[in-house]
């Protein structure tokens, strides 16, 4: 697929995540080696501790790898594409029980396709900004449901930047664009603006607004 504009995690965010993957991956391998050594030495307690640390570390590596590549928002000639997590926001399975392990269970991805001709609202900002400026009950319910999954989800939701799209039939699509490349986001928003000239784009990010003004 050839896109006219595409936005994904910034290079700085990818570098930071990659560094974390390398560090935790190295520690996990060390835990595996130490666990095997303790098995041979018949030290059951330490072998279990090291192997458990290895498993947790590898789970962290898997989910961090899962956050680097999959999500993006893009435009083609007449269409908006949003590749996102199935829960709409988080890279982990928010409904996994017990809740303290949900961070280590990657969520599945989905692709939403929206024709420009159907778009009526475009907003980019925090959850609080969106809920203050929207009257979409479905969006409000889904945000409340995500926040209620566990206390950490509620805290994270307050800090995330979300892209929100609403269509003429009342459907809504949203995804986290936290740490996305600002210049790429502006290109996507500009493509949407060109394809939907009657749709006003609202944003509470000064940097994005400034970049959009400069690009005009």
pLDDT tens digits along 167-185: 998 899 999 999 999 999 9
- Helix H or strand E encompassing 105: none
- Could you tell me if 59 and 127 are in contact, meaning their C-beta atoms sit under 8 angstroms apart? no
Cα 181 from Cα 156, distance rounded (Å): 20
Look up tokens 């435009």; give the residue.
75
Q: Which of 189, 216, 191 is nearest to 205 (CA)?
A: 189
Higher-confidence residue: 105 or 25? Answer: 25
For residue 66, pLDDT beyond 80: no
**pLDDT at residue 97, rounded to an integer:** 78
pTM: 0.82
Pairing of strands 79-85, 172-176: unpaired
- Could you tell me if 192 and 186 are in contact, meaning their C-beta atoms sit under 8 angstroms apart? no
Cα 80 from Cα 160, distance rounded (Å): 21
- Could you tell me if 92 and 138 are in contact, meaning their C-beta atoms sit under 8 angstroms apart? no
Q: Where are the domains of the chain?
A: 11-67, 70-215
CA 98 to chain centre: 22
Cα 66 from Cα 151, distance rounded (Å): 23
pLDDT tens digits along 49-60: 888 888 888 877
**pLDDT at residue 69, rounded to an integer:** 65
């Amino acid at each position: 697929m050839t896109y006219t504009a595409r936005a994904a995690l910034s290079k700085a965010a990818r570098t930071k995540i990659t560094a974390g993957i390398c560090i935790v991956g190295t520690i996990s391998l060390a835990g595996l080696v130490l666990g095997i050594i303790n098995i041979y030495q018949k030290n059951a307690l330490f072998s279990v501790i090291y192997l458990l640390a290895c498993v947790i570390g590898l789970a962290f590596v898997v989910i961090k790898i899962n956050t680097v590549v999959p999500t993006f928002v893009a435009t083609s000639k007449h269409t908006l594409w949003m590749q996102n997590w199935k829960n709409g926001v988080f890279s982990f399975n928010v409904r996994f029980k017990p809740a303290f392990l949900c961070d280590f269970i990657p969520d599945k991805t989905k692709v939403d396709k929206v024709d420009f001709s159907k778009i009526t609202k475009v907003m980019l900002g925090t959850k609080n900004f969106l809920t203050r400026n929207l009257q979409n009950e479905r969006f409000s319910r889904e945000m409340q449901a995500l926040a209620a999954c566990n206390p950490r989800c509620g805290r994270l939701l307050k800090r995330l930047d979300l892209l929100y799209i609403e269509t003429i039939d009342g459907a809504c699509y949203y995804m986290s664009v936290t740490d996305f490349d600002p210049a790429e986001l502006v290109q996507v928003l500009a493509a949407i603006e060109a394809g939907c000239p009657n749709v006003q784009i609202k944003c509470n990010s000064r940097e994005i607004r400034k970049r959009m003004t400069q690009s005009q």
